Structure 1
């Protein structure tokens, strides 16, 4: 595929995906009667809703479906429908959604102040529509520390799994990783399991055997159609409060539709009605700040009326740092996303992906500017990784040699980084990303774990399993990391036995695996029931409340949390009559 033709092909593909996405809106209306455009909003029910959920994502969809079984629910999603969008629905198009920067894209790019390119979901189903699909539960210690009821947790996970989770058919690259991990000493082999266990395992996936993605949006089918209303392209501007009395009380939200027209959605007068934020680790603290809950000094600067002075909103942000090693192969490898994983006691997790940098004829194709290549294959260090720089790189990468595209990645990520950052508003426009800083590797122990992960990858590369796949069975990690000579890659350490050099490699090639969390921590912004401290009738139910990211991928636990909290709220209101 010639470079110019390749660029034209990509543009055509993106245009077709947008057309198909708009066609998907009609498909959704026909097959999912509770899905409507935001402009169709009317005061129905006229007395307001029992629950208004802001964010139809990984937690918001199961939460809405569960609460609607007994009460009226309005779910407001700022993005569109995933149905009919081929870039959401099919594994082979995974990288295209992340590369699409159009207003219709299901993902919204942002760059942290650290210089790491990242993405937040902008589609019904949230991160489950744009992630790598891996499904694994949280560790037992995570559940215990969260203070969750273990019996209800063990009821809520299967509720998700029965509807959208599958066992994968292992791709060759994933088989090689599994066997390589075991040969390298990451043992025991725990087989196919959802459980988070030390050693090597194969997890679940939300892709079926045909590579079709199931998402959290599918869980809405478990709700009650008569009680559930879902508005697409409904962007919440702020939460509305009644400030009379001893505490501010949430009474509804102000949102705009796809045409920019503003609407008020109001809670009914029942004492237990609530607004629930499920807008993610960026969206939920952003909305609290825009609504006047946050540090008074910061709110005053932007002219936002202060409802509650809380310094902790947006603080304690974390992102699991990831670094990747590209492994060239003798011939093209089958596309694969995360299926096998090595879980080490050091808190370094080893995973792999393959085949997204080559076409069927083994000639250069599109990786996607948000993919793992931005770390090792980009020619810009983190602080210079702007969207413009990434676009420039994507245009010039066809000059890279063939070995930069034929093969796969072995990835290592740090679980529960001790490095912390913060989030703050840039302005009062909800459509603009807030500023977020993660301070990758600011804590020395995070660097130690990264070095351990890279050295674990070195052992894996030396195993017999990878010798069968690679161009040269004598590859050393030095040769792989120093492919800068061949592939125009910079920032690579010269000696892997030099810890300082590896630490610099970790810093210079850090990327994200989209597992950021924090900003609304328990005990600081919300209580143990996820109710916002200092105000009434307002909760936050999503990953912004997490102090660390659960499991090797958080989506299973975030979806479980939505179901868990829905059931818990119903049982508290109805007791045995809840029937869930």
Structure 2
């Protein structure tokens, strides 16, 4: 690939970037002329590129490829625009507690017993997450083999639209100062870069608390080159044989909201491709449903084998999160993740605060860590039954609103090293696959968690945090919170690391950073082409061996743009050489 070519492409679109940045920063929802309900799609259609999944990677990828080619972007959910539960920072948590079939969040429970969620909306996880925006570290970029300059330009392309410097108020400032006081140094100020020490990261929430998502990146698209279909659920990819030996992807079969079947095919051309960007659960699931995966597993589900690719669905990982709630004697502002401590001990320290309203009765919910969204840390994972959740919600409803003053400090471990696997439960693409993450299977992961909890305990005891801490010995009202609050408080232990290890296992939650299942080297090559198949790539977080940086969304969006540019450059090089 010629580096000069992609720089030429970037320069050619520079004016477009400036224009769209101003448009994207407005509060008005974009009027996408290329976005339609799948019910309006023809029975058969043809495109240069078909992208399955309009999520965090799919949107920037589609916007980039549409500059030169016809692109079909298929999204199984709806649009995020006009939904205040997605747009407003204070409503974080509401989509997670919505269990309806039309919710932008689809709940799943791993075989480990931890309740989790996958996106079902244009923009993907960027419509649901806590908003933290931070890049991967230079070591990660070098290990993956990405071009450093192109990565930087791709991040900046994303940041012009969706990334902001968050306002630093009291809770986040106290966490920042506490991290510095306990030795998580140096202080790196506000930066998107992944640097050891304490920093203020970016946010996809603007200063007014409005969320900007990967769907906003579609404003970069060439409207004549892109078609986005909503509520379009892809059932399988279709293949033909090249020389009766190597399978070639050439189309997809999808159904609209009414269940009507549609077919989309690649136009004739050796460089046209289908690209799967359906996320860490959706991408391996779709490959298997299409006949690409472990032969015996597919046979058990009566799926015709296209290619035996045993590592599809393997090496699934989810970064375990453990959080401690700190009740505050004074009111606390609403904040999601803004500050992070990047330690040398393999753990990241972050925080959230305030009453993150998730229902019409905000005093009875605590968005990011509410049992209503499945974050029930006071009950060990295998015991987080519907009955246990209902009991926790009932306990929460009886608490005085003062119990909801405060916030959380959480730790997430690097990596992680522990991995599991994903399997089909049915041939219905709307059903969740079965997934096992094997939290803390590797001892190093458990050690990192213990290190993180110990840092959190020190921060809570720091002078910087004293304003937000009750005197546990003299405040009787706190007893009621301690006994009834359905989220874990500071662990009680006897100086033994073993008890903290058990605390980590019993209180583990997800931070929604799961990845793997279609990893580079085992399922796709370094160009993200599926091994053993032509005209098929996977570009999303399912290809990651480890979660990048402290939070992956920036890198997933960057990857969509990066690979879009690489594909354009490769085709331009090929055309010029003819």
Give me the TM-score of the superposition, normalised by structure 1. 0.89
- Asked whether the 8 Å contact 1:99–1:369 carries over to 2, the reply is no
Which residue is equivalent to 2:150? Answer: 152
Alpha-carbon deviations, 1:264-316, whole Å to 9, x = none?
A: 11000111000000000000000001011111111111100000111100000
User: Which residue is 2:122 aligned to?
Assistant: 124
Asked whether 1:36 is paired with 2:36, we answer: yes
- The superposition leaves residues 360-397 of structure 1 with CA deviations (integer Å, 9 ceiling, x where unpaired) of 99983222486489788655320022355424432442
Match of 1:92 in 2: 90
CA distance in 2 between counterparts of 1:361 and 1:332 reads: 20
- Paired residues, number: 546
Q: Is the 8 A contact 1:80 1:123 kept in 2?
A: yes
Q: 1:369 to 1:390 in 2, by over 3 A?
A: farther
**Is the contact made by 2:71 and 2:227 (CA closer than 8 Å) also made in structure 1?**
yes
C-alpha spacing 1:378/1:510, structure 2 compared with 1 (3 Å): closer
SS of 1:471's partner is coil
Query: Structure 1 residues 487 and 43, CA, compared in 2 at 3 Å: closer, same or farther?
Result: closer
- Cα gap change, 1:497/1:143 in structure 2, threshold over 3 Å: closer, same or farther? same
Question: Distance in 2 between the 1:96 and 1:359 partners?
Answer: 4
Distance 2:479 2:532 in 1: 52
Task: Say if 1:546 and 1:126 are closer, same or farther in 2 by CA, change over 3 A.
Answer: same
Q: 1:468 to 1:292 in 2, by over 3 A?
A: same
Conserved 8 A contact 1:248-1:534: yes
- For 2:319, the equivalent position in structure 1 comes to 320
Provide the C-alpha distance between the structure 2 equivalents of 1:187 and 1:474, rounded to a whole number of angstroms.
Answer: 32
Task: For 1:70-469, list aligned pairs within 5 A.
Answer: 70-245=68-243, 246-356=245-355, 364-368=363-367, 371=370, 378-387=377-386, 389-400=388-399, 404-469=403-468
Task: Give the superposition deviation at 1:413.
Answer: 0.7
Measured at CA, do residues 491 and 410 of structure 1 come closer, stay the same or move farther in structure 2, by a change above 3 Å? Answer: closer
Change (3 A) 1:407 1:128: same
Distance 1:34 1:410, change over 3 A: same
Cα distance in 1 between the residues matched to 2:387 and 2:236: 31
2:98–2:105 CA contact under 8 A, matched in 1? yes
> 1:483 and 1:52 mapped to 2: Cα distance?
52
* C-alpha distance after superposition, 1:116-140 (max 9, x if no partner): 1111000000000000111000000
- The yes-or-no answer on 1:541 pairing with 2:539 is yes
Deviates more, 1:554-563 or 1:494-503: 494-503
Q: Aligned equivalents of 1:170 and 1:217: distance in 2? A: 27
Q: Distance in 2 between matches of 1:166 and 1:546?
A: 26
Distance 1:174 1:488, change over 3 A: closer
Secondary structure at 1:524 match in 2: coil
Distance in 2 between the 1:239 and 1:376 partners? Answer: 35
**3-state SS of the aligned residue for 2:468?**
coil
- Report how far residue 95 of structure 1 moved: 1.2
**Is the Cα contact below 8 Å between 2:59 and 2:214 reproduced in 1?**
yes
* Aligned equivalents of 2:330, 2:460: Cα separation in 1: 17
Measured after TM superposition, the shift of residue 83 of structure 1 is 0.5
| 1:550 aligns to 2:548 (yes or no) | yes
Q: Is residue 401–residue 487 contact of structure 1 (8 Å, CA) maintained in 2?
A: no
Tell me the distance in 1 between the aligned counterparts of 2:541 and 2:445.
Answer: 21
Partner of 1:5: none
What pairs up with 1:488-527 in 2 under 5 angstroms? Answer: 494-495=492-493, 497-527=495-525
Query: 1:360/1:330 Cα in 2 relative to 1: closer, same or farther (>3 Å)?
Result: farther
Q: Distance in 2 between matches of 1:235 and 1:359?
A: 28
CA distance in 2, matches of 1:124, 1:76: 9
Q: Does the 8 Å contact 1:79/1:232 carry over to 2?
A: yes
Relative to structure 1, is the Cα distance of residues 123 and 377 closer, same or farther in structure 2, using a 3 angstrom cutoff? closer
Correspondence for 2:572 among 566, 569, 574: 574
- Cα deviation 1:459-495 (Å, max 9, x = unaligned): 10111121112222889xxxx9997545477898541
State how far apart, in whole Å, the 2-side matches of 1:151 and 1:64 are.
Answer: 21
How far apart in 2 are the matches of 1:320 and 1:203?
Answer: 19
Structure 2 portions without partners, runs of 5+ = 1-27
